[in-house]
Amino acid sequence: MNLGLWWRTIRDIPPRQLAYRVEFEIKKRSFPKLPSFIGRPLALGKEIPTPALRKDYLKALELPNPIAIVNSPADTYTFTFLSQTRELDFPITWNSSNYSRLWQFHLHYFDWIRDILVKAYQEGQIDDYNLGKIQHIIADWIAANPLYSFDGWHPYTTSLRIVNWTYAIAAIPRLNNPTITTSLWHQVNYLHRNKEYFAGGNHLLENLRAVIIGGLNFNHPRAEKMVRVAVNQLSQQLSLQILPDGGHYERSPMYHLIVMNLVAESVACLGCAGWTVPDEILNHLAQMLQFARGIRLTNGSYPLWNDAAYNGVQPLDEIISWVSQLLAGKGDVKEDSALNNSTYQLTDALHQRLVNNITTKETTKKIQPNISPSPISKFPDSGYYILRNSNNIELAFDAAIPCPQELPPHAHADCLTIDLYYQGQPIIVDTGTSEYKAGEIRDLERSTLAHNTITIANQNQSEIWGSFRVGRKAQPFNVESGNSLEWQWVGAAHNGYTKPPFNAIHHRWVGLGIKEIVIIDYLETAFDTNYVSTLHFAPGLVLNYDTDTGVYESPLEKTNLYLKVLGLETDDRVKWLDANSSQSWYAPEFGRRYPRGKLQIQGLLKPKGKVICTLITLDSKPEAIWRYSDNQGTLQLEQERYLKWHFEKKRLVYE
């Protein structure tokens, strides 16, 4: 056991949060062994008969009443989560060592109910098979997962299941039977008393959404008290977790969208129940919406920074569309018109749009998000920058801290990484996230080598380890950005390599011109060591090297890309590794990895320092002259265009 690594991991976690973790582990291990008359009150509080459901809550979700179900359960049911399909015998084996932990969590979520509702709303009714599937599998879960059995009663799986069962009961009133509603009531009470204060972040927000949406089901003072507590905590947590620029503080675009969606669903359901939504929650939701619009790329995607995968949340445009309508209160989107109304409630018409948008994908495809991004999207609190030009080139730059100090699970060692897109086509892209299971794949996907940045002395910038842990965390500094007539640019350094003995530093400046992309990396060290600079290209792209010009060329869908590395010394090596030899992959979805090639620059880093300039152009081969001496550099482009800079006090200054 590396005690130093453990210490650097837990030292940033507040004592109170550590105490919550200890409390959770004690409950998890001891409560299942307690007699029922002791364990149940501890888990649920004083039990009362299951209250009646709130009249007309989520009424617009109701489907036409189906005919009576008489069929027996199927012998097997098929589930697809994380791009992995399994056919499970009935009764279901809910917990198995044959499942990955995340796949098992998904089995307990019951997210598949939403897919059934999608089909039912599209067809105008639910078919007998799918109604029977919902009935039989909910009943099987209740029978097979007694109170405090994990993973079924993990607060996170409980949270998602509460919301999905709530929507199912609203859509299919036949499910309103004593067995199901009593289980749902117990789950809401349990979650109210067992929120994930030990985890915080998006997990705690999921808990709060579930208590709000599930608690509103029930017409009883205790339910209303639980909802009020959750609403107040949601407001407090959003003040903590949503940064001034609107981004979620875990610095993952995927989790930002997850959080934005769960807050919006909470707002919608509160409105449906006739509750007042606090202005603080609406204001934070509006900020998150603006952030989501700003990180949107031309093709409707977003950078896969930190833990992120496109199948981990609904498409960005769908979420932007329905949240815009929610805040505007009408079909034609007007910016945040609801924010001035402190007693904002959903109208019947908006509720109907909510039904369409949270349960069907057909409606949202017809609605184009109201987006006209500025040339440069700056989110300095989050550390995200996206440069755009008139040729539809998008250059994304990550100058973010890896994670909140007390919340490391979704961090990667990716400071100063870049993504490059041309007319929506990915060119240089980060690896993404294919799995959360601890092991070689998880380690590599979180490592610095998996991102489009520089590794020094064979070290990760941040000490990522295990599945969700981080020790020492790299901190960016000297983050600056700007634009001129010819260039948009952003630069930053980080301290991830400053520990002894090398005391190394990496400063990166990226600039986007009319058709050029310039990456200038300044490296220095106290002692001789090695460095590796990596650019991971999208699957299918191949760089061909011209020995006469020293230029790499790759055909794109609509043009050609050219790349040249300037400033190299005799001991530096540039090498293109194709998809068969690169050991690199692109993981845009959980459960999927696509081989791709990478360009690698490596060599010896000496105390005198090193500057590497990577020039990328479109349409025509680069014609450039590079000069560097005494911490001053000039890149001369064609037509007597110059890019000048100098390095001072660990800052690269653009002149």
Q: What is the dihedral of CA 114, 118, 121, 125, to 10 degrees?
A: -70
Q: What is the mean pLDDT of residues 263-268?
A: 92
Q: Give the pLDDT confidence score for residue 344 in this predicted structure.
A: 31
Beta strands (DSSP E) in 413-515 are 418-422, 425-428, 454-456, 464-465, 469-470, 476-483, 488-494, 505-512
Residue 532 · residue 521 · CB < 8 Å: no
Q: How far is residue 290's CA from residue 275's CA, in Å, rounded to a whole number?
A: 25
| pLDDT band with cut points at 50, 70 and 90 for residue 118 | confident
Contacts 24+ apart (CB under 8 A), 69-74: 69/128, 69/131, 69/132, 69/135, 69/174, 71/128, 71/129, 71/132, 73/132, 73/136, 73/140, 74/129, 74/132, 74/133, 74/136
Per-residue confidence (pLDDT) for residue 369, from 0 to 100: 45
Using pLDDT thresholds of 50, 70 and 90, give the confidence band for residue 514: confident
Q: Judging by beta carbons within 10 Å of its beta carbon (0-12, 13-18, 19+), is residue 530 exposed, middle or buried? A: middle
Sign of the CA dihedral running 58, 61, 64, 66: negative
Tokens of 5: 């690594």
3-class secondary structure, 34: coil
What are the pLDDT digits (tens) for 140-168?
999 999 999 999 999 999 999 999 999 99
Whether the Cβ atoms of residue 450 and residue 444 lie closer than 8 Å to each other: yes
Looking at per-residue pLDDT, the higher value among 401 and 569 belongs to 401
User: What is the torsional sign of CA 198, 201, 202, 204?
Assistant: positive
**pLDDT tens per residue across span 316-362:** 998 998 888 888 763 333 344 333 332 233 433 344 444 555 444 33
Radius of gyration of the chain (CA): 27
pLDDT at 654 over 90: no
Count of beta carbons in the 10 Å neighbourhood of residue 342: 10
Strands 454-456, 651-654: pairing is unpaired
The answer for residues whose C-beta is within 8 angstroms of residue 73's C-beta and 6 or more apart is 90, 132, 136, 140
Flag whether pLDDT at 584 surpasses 60.
Answer: yes
- Tally of CA atoms within 13 A in the half-sphere of 517 that contains its CB: 26
- Give me the chain's average pLDDT, please: 90
d(CA 352, CA 347): 9
In tens, the pLDDT along 297-308 reads 999 999 999 999
The residue type found at 262 is L
The Cβ-side half-sphere exposure at 358, using a 13 Å CA radius, reads 29
- d(C-alpha 179, C-alpha 142), whole Å: 8
Cis peptide bond N-terminal to 501, omega within 30: yes
Backbone angles phi, psi at 114, to 5 degrees: -65, -35
In tens, the pLDDT along 408-462 reads 999 999 999 999 999 999 999 999 999 999 999 999 999 999 999 999 999 999 9
Strand partners for 652: 647
CA dist 327 and 123 (Å) reads 29
CB-side neighbour CA atoms (13 Å) of 585: 18
For position 366, what pLDDT does the model report?
38
State yes or no: cis peptide before 91, omega within 30 of 0.
yes
Q: Residue 421: which residues within 8 A CB-CB, separation 6 or more?
A: 297, 298, 299, 393, 394, 396, 427
Q: Are 411 and 306 in contact (CB under 8 A)?
A: yes
With tokens 């790349």, the residue in question is 563
DSSP-based three-state secondary structure for 221:
helix
Residue 557 has pLDDT above 80, yes or no: yes
According to the model, what pLDDT value does residue 329 have? 61
